[in-house]
Amino acid sequence: MLFAVFLPALLAIFIPYFSKWKEKIHTGYFVLLAPLAIFIYFVSFVGNDFEPVSQNYEWIPSLNIGFDFYLDGLSLLFVLLISGIGSLVAFYSIFYLHTSERLDQFYVYLLLFMTAMFGVVLSDNVFVLYSFWELTSISSFLLIGYWNYKERSRYGALKSMLITVFGGLSMLGGFILLSIITETTSIQEMIGQVDIILGHDYFGLILGFILLGAFTKSAQFPFHIWLPDAMEAPTPVSAYLHSATMVKAGIFLVARFTPIFSESEWFFVFVSGIGILTLIWGSYMAVRQTDLKGILAFSTISQLGMIMAMLGFGTSTAIFAAVFHILNHATFKGSLFMVAGIVDHESGTRDIRKLGGLATLMPISATLAFFGTFSMAGVPLPFLNGFYSKEMFFDASIKLESSSLMIAELLRTAIPYLAVFGSIFTFVYSMYLVFGTFMGQKKLDQLPKKPHEAPIGMLIPPIILVVGVIIIGILPEAFNSSLIAHAAESIYGQPIEKHIQYWHGLKAPLFMSLAVVVIGALLAFARKSWSGIYSFLPGKLSFNKAYDFIVDQLEKTSAKITNSYMNGSLRRYMIYILTAILICTFTFIGLTGGFNWDASNLSEITIHEVLIALAMATAAIATIFTNNKIGSILILGVVGYGLALLFVIYRAPDLALTQLVVETITVALFLLCFYHLPNLRERTDSIVEKSTNIIISVGFGLLMTVVAISAHSTKLFETISGYFIETSHDIGGGDNVVNVILVDMRGLDTMFEIVVLGIAALAIYGMIKLRNKKGAK
Amino acid sequence: MEIIMSILAGVLFTTGVYNLLQKQLLRIIIGTALISHGAHLFILTMGELKRGAPPILDYSIDQYTDPLPQALILTSIVISFGVTSLLLVLAYRASKENGTDNMDKLRGNEND
């Protein structure tokens, strides 16, 4: 199974070589092998007596992360969909994409995506699941932006990336919480600890986080906005990712965690509430679209909402219907996308207002589209699979269990009506789609190309899918016990005995279906007379605008905030740094009572020290007020020589010597530069600037004084200098202790101080000598 | 005396920081020089003042001042001298190249 999962990625490594090696053969033929082989491999598992298979491969054993693959009914259904439709899409793309396109890139992305999807549906380890989940987001991003010279493609790719990664990250949060609570990373082991999870304080957070991940990936309301924009991708991508596989990853996630969450009534409220809302909004908005793929995108949103709602119901009928509809939707939606791609390919436009009457020109495509759309609309014909799952959906919506939660009870009574309402619009857009494109007047003069039937290779994949629609429609029971029942069992937790049949008897679901068909047909017929409603709802309201506004405002606000404090002025940054130091240190001193005053261990005060100190203080203050260049340099010298005098008094002969020499050289340097430096100007600071300067500098001086006094008053242990004095002569071989420390005991300091001087000298030399001519870089 | 020296160090820091917050390059360098003076005085004061003879061994004396802070300050003086001289040349070049020594005008280009 490990090999099956990674086969596409492995093949992806060789794709660029293949496409360079045999340029005349379409790269798609090489690609086709991988999903086909995997499909055949997994078909061998299908059977009435299927038992879950589990295989473990180590990855990071110390963190309990490994490729733990678990193939149960649900995974098997998804794996078959991914590999089966993957083969068809690969085949379709051979005829859809011309060899002049960058085929190697396309197929590398597509194969990466396949591996990622296999990993998502087969992983039992939450963190591995998450890794594959993000890989689907990334490869989908690359595929949507495949025609990256188009502005709309880049916009759509970025939007889908932002939304799905946002959800993916929140899902990771949910997974981490789950694995902390249950102390395991395996989903199957988590299912064994349902009681612990349900009773835990974090349960609400976990539910919210994971559902957010599922809703963003599966384009549920209000995160559905990325899906219509993702239609800028090539049609094989739309058919594969955005109808059959990736958008069902969220559905898969909800289904996978249903055994854990379904006890909670909030799960019912959120999942079925959002699902129903998505169903209605998606089908309502689909009628408004003019682009074929736009209609199909909103249609996908609405169908996903329907599946999500059924998973939320949580009854055995509903879950069975959900699984059945996953299969059905993948077949008819895949074929519809391919037909839309054919129409686009052969007529040059996807705008339904320009299309019409193509049935005579493209009879095969038209027939395929009729089967697909009628199945999607749930027309009660015994050879269309969409009808069966829709019927079960109505059946499930009536038979909801009553609940103690107020809002859940409210939802329970409303759901059957809402379901019918959403389905009416589904019927309307389905009819609009097929009749608008293939019936009515021909408008050949508006089309960029003269339409004709597609090449046979392009027609084969949709034909296979439509044949699938019909086979499932005629022989639904054939798929029941071998495939669907197992998938439903792994969601529901126990075996579900259901029979799929065309005739239920004269019961409520049938009347609901009939109502949908009648009202839907009437509305579809009179579509032009009521389409004005869209200017009221949504009217100017649009989630796309909200998204654009949020992204735009985020950029603008962060730019504004950054510009407000990063204004390029060094003085401003100094103020930030000093203020932070002041606040932190004073707060710390205040909180810990750090200020000490101990006057017992002070040396005596003598008059000449005080005089020197006064002179230094006066000189230091004078540097602020002087506007004379040479004056300020000399005053600075006074401070330096004063310090040297203090060193003399405080028994530091070496220091005094060095300070005198260094101060002299520094003053000399200042005087050397003085000739070249511009004159000191009068200050032009405003009062505000001046007062901030004063507050900060006085605060900083005060801080240092306070720290010095309290440090002097708090001597926690004796100095270690006794050792230096004792051993200076015997070990160091010198009587001048300071010098012995410098060159012997702490010689490294001195070495690097020499290095500092050397570097400074080199840098000065470089700055003076090396200069570029103006303009030269 | 340590208290007075602490206050003097505080005054040196105050004036140093005030100069550092100015807009003219020369004043900023004066500020850094003042701050390093303040820091040296600070270190010296921390090591207790006047507790014996200068740290040059002599058999008749058994009480010396602490030699370790002196060694540290000596290192520091040399380093701050190196930095100050570098800053001076840097200021000279900067004002020559850019035609101004006003920090408010030295903010780089929009597109840097």
Residues A528 and A649 occupy one common structural domain? no
Greater model confidence, A774 or A646: A646
Greater model confidence, A523 or B37: B37
Q: How many residues does chain B have?
A: 112
Q: Which letter does DSSP use for residue B112 in this model? A: -
Greater model confidence, A586 or A100: A586
A185: phi then psi, degrees, rounded to nearest 5? -110, 5
- Range A680-700 average pLDDT: 82
Preferred mutation among A647, A650, A772 to probe B, highest tally of B CBs within 10 A: A650
Residues A675 and A748 occupy one common structural domain? no
Domain boundary among A628, A648, A682: A682
Nearest-by-Cβ selection for A693 from B21, B81, B104 = B21
Task: Check pLDDT > 90 for residue A200.
Answer: no
Contacts of A615 in chain B (CB under 8 A): none
Greater model confidence, A257 or A599: A257
Percentage of chain A beyond pLDDT 90 is 27
Q: DSSP states of A591-652 as a string? A: HHT------TT-PPP-HHHHHHHHHHHHHHHHHHH---HHHHHHHHHHHHHHHHHHHHHTT-
Q: Give the pLDDT of residue A776.
A: 45
- Range A186-197 average pLDDT: 87
The answer to whether A67 and A128 are in contact (CB under 8 A) is: yes
Q: What is the nearest CA distance from B98 to chain A, expressed in angstroms?
A: 11
Q: Which tokens in the block code for residue A458?
A: 């392009």
Q: Which letter does DSSP use for residue A225 in this model? A: G
Name the pLDDT band for A777 (thresholds 50, 70, 90): very low
The CATH class of the B2-52+65-103 domain is: mainly alpha
A4 assigned to some structural domain: no
Task: Check pLDDT > 60 for residue A765.
Answer: yes
Residues A678 and A766 occupy one common structural domain? no
Task: Check pLDDT > 80 for residue B49.
Answer: no
A376 assigned to some structural domain: yes
- Where helices occur in A44-102 by DSSP H, the ranges are 73-96
Residues A417 and A520 occupy one common structural domain? yes
Name the pLDDT band for A504 (thresholds 50, 70, 90): low
Q: Give the pLDDT of residue B33.
A: 92
Task: Check pLDDT > 70 for residue A408.
Answer: yes
Q: Would the CB atoms of A700 and B13 count as touching at under 8 Å?
A: yes
Triad A112, A460, A368: Cα angle to 5°: 110
Residues A296 and A421 occupy one common structural domain? yes
Residues A737 and A666 occupy one common structural domain? no
The answer to whether A50 and A486 are in contact (CB under 8 A) is: yes
For A279-311, what is each residue's pLDDT tens digit?
Answer: 999 988 888 888 888 899 999 999 999 999 998
Domain membership of residue A510 as a residue range = 266-535
What's the structural domain count of chain A? Answer: 3
Instruction: Give me the residue spans of the domains in chain B.
Output: 2-52+65-103
List the beta strands (DSSP E) in A256-383: none
The answer to whether A619 and A639 are in contact (CB under 8 A) is: yes
Lowest mean pLDDT among A134-138, A492-496, A572-576, A703-707: A492-496
pTM of the model: 0.82
Domain boundary among A647, A662, A682: A682
Give residues 625 to 654 of A whose Cβ lies within 8 Å of B.
Answer: 629, 632, 636, 639-640, 643, 646-647, 649-654
Lowest mean pLDDT among A21-35, A44-58, B16-30: A21-35
Residues A642 and A766 occupy one common structural domain? no
Residues A501 and A421 occupy one common structural domain? yes
Give the Cβ contact number of residue A711 at 10 Å.
15
Name the pLDDT band for A684 (thresholds 50, 70, 90): low
Average pLDDT, chain B: 86
Q: Which tokens in the block code for residue B20?
A: 């550092």
For A160-171, what is each residue's pLDDT tens digit?
Answer: 999 999 999 999
Q: Which tokens in the block code for residue A714?
A: 């708090």
Residues A412 and A511 occupy one common structural domain? yes
Residues A659 and A748 occupy one common structural domain? no
Nearest-by-CA chain A residue for B99: A678
Task: Check pLDDT > 90 for residue A757.
Answer: yes
- Range A656-666 average pLDDT: 92
Q: Give the pLDDT of residue A575.
A: 92
Q: Would the CB atoms of B12 and A616 count as touching at under 8 Å?
A: yes
Domain boundary among A496, A516, A535: A535
Residues A291 and A348 occupy one common structural domain? yes
Residues A646 and A774 occupy one common structural domain? no
The answer to whether A644 and A659 are in contact (CB under 8 A) is: yes
Task: Check pLDDT > 60 for residue B110.
Answer: no
Contacts of A669 in chain B (CB under 8 A): 84-85, 88
Average pLDDT, chain A: 86
Q: What is the ipTM for the molecules in this complex?
A: 0.93
Q: Which tokens in the block code for residue A94?
A: 């051979």
Alpha-carbon distance of A15 to B102, in angstroms, equals 60
For A707-723, what is each residue's pLDDT tens digit?
Answer: 988 888 887 788 888 88
Helix (H) or strand (E) holding A364: helix A363-377
Give residues 721 to 750 of A whose Cβ lies within 8 Å of B.
Answer: 721, 724-725, 728-729, 735-738, 741-742, 746, 749-750
A186: phi then psi, degrees, rounded to nearest 5? -95, 135
Task: Check pLDDT > 60 for residue A774.
Answer: no
Q: Give the pLDDT of residue A129.
A: 93
Task: Check pLDDT > 80 for residue A496.
Answer: no
